[in-house]
Amino acid sequence: MSDYKKPSLGVLMARVPEEPTPHSKSRNGLPDPICKPGKAWTIDRDTIGHGGSTSLIRPPVQHTDALKVAQITEFDYGDAEPEDCEEDHLISLEIGGHPGVPANLRPEAHGGKYGSEEMDKVENWLHKQVSSGAMTPKEAQEGIRTNWKLYPLLWSAVTKSRDRLSTKWAYLLLIRDHAALIYD
């Protein structure tokens, strides 16, 4: 991860909207793909698997805290308090997500079925899949970007499979069988 040139705090803070307005519409608990499309920084498996700590590229907390407050307004999370959320990367740093662009950052609730704790498990699992070669970085990035909520079902299907179902095939079957999670 050493070839990422971390922007200065001033550059990052200039990316935070001064007067945010509600305009983002999440669907089924997933981010609005127009406002928060996610952004990858790398698809290099070696960089992802052996690139070092994400702390080397993680944006400073002053930036993510300010962005979180603005995005709570943009996402129209009127009842959310900043301390009840964390500003997290849609395509996680662990799988090559871009560290500092707002298109890849969003407020994520701490609790609940699809809260930050569950998302962290998904991020760690995907990092293992990419590092082991079971998934390409692009597959992991696209999957987490479009519907990360399928992954807990996926690792359950892969773990329970008697015929050693591949991760890729299990994911395709889940998309087929659980389309309502994506499109409802």
Tokens of 109: 């609730």
For the chain, the 3-state helix, strand and coil shares in percent, each to the nearest 5, are 50, 10, 40
Predicted local distance difference test score (pLDDT) of residue 36:
80
Whether the Cβ atoms of residue 149 and residue 114 lie closer than 8 Å to each other = yes
* Mean of per-residue pLDDT scores for the chain: 80
167-177 and 137-147 are packed helices; what angle lies between their axes, rounded to 10 degrees?
20
**What pLDDT score does 77 carry?**
78
Q: Quote the tokens at residue 149.
A: 């909520």
In angstroms, the first-to-last Cα distance of the chain is 37
- Res 181: pLDDT: 47
pLDDT digits (tens, 9 = 90+) for 62-101: 999 999 999 888 888 777 788 888 999 999 999 999 998 9
What are 112-171's pLDDT values in tens digits? 778 888 889 889 889 988 988 888 999 999 989 888 888 777 766 665 554 555 666 566
CA 27 to chain centre: 15
